[in-house]
Amino acid sequence: MSAFRGAGMVKARRNSRAGFLAGWLLIVWIMATGLTPAEPALVPSAPVEEKLVYDISFLIFKNAAVGSMTMKYLPDRGLYEGVVSARTKGFVGLVSLFRQDRYRSVMRLDDDGRLVPVEFHKEVVMGGFKSVSSTFLDYASGVMWWTSTRVEGG
């Protein structure tokens, strides 16, 4: 029984050393990468726009919908706009009443180079109904407000 206990102690010592070494390497890595000053945010001087179009398949339904994502810089406002839209087609479109979704986010670039949303707009058309909502964010005053409408025959 004492040999078993000794083997357990050796294994525990190895795990302890491995944990200590992993922790030490993590601390060194954080200090090496986390304490470097952030690079200044880059604002494009020319119009920038990127668009991605893709087909959406679901189970046995190939190309059941088509979607797109667009990201562009709005130089007049100094903001960025991201738009994601999709619409169903074919048999899936018939079953889902040819649903169309469009999500638009307007974002500003903060000092750390991250995109922060200031507006978000959602529009869903399904059959004879249209639902529209808009959300606005004011980080300085800590206020968020939104509007929402549902229109028949949209």
| Strand pairing report for 115-126 and 129-138 | antiparallel
Phi and psi at 74, nearest 5°, equal: -105, 95
pLDDT in tens, 4-45: 444 444 444 444 555 666 665 666 556 555 545 555 556 566
Q: What is the pLDDT of residue 144?
A: 93
Check pLDDT > 60 for residue 77.
yes
pLDDT in tens, 134-151: 999 999 999 999 999 988
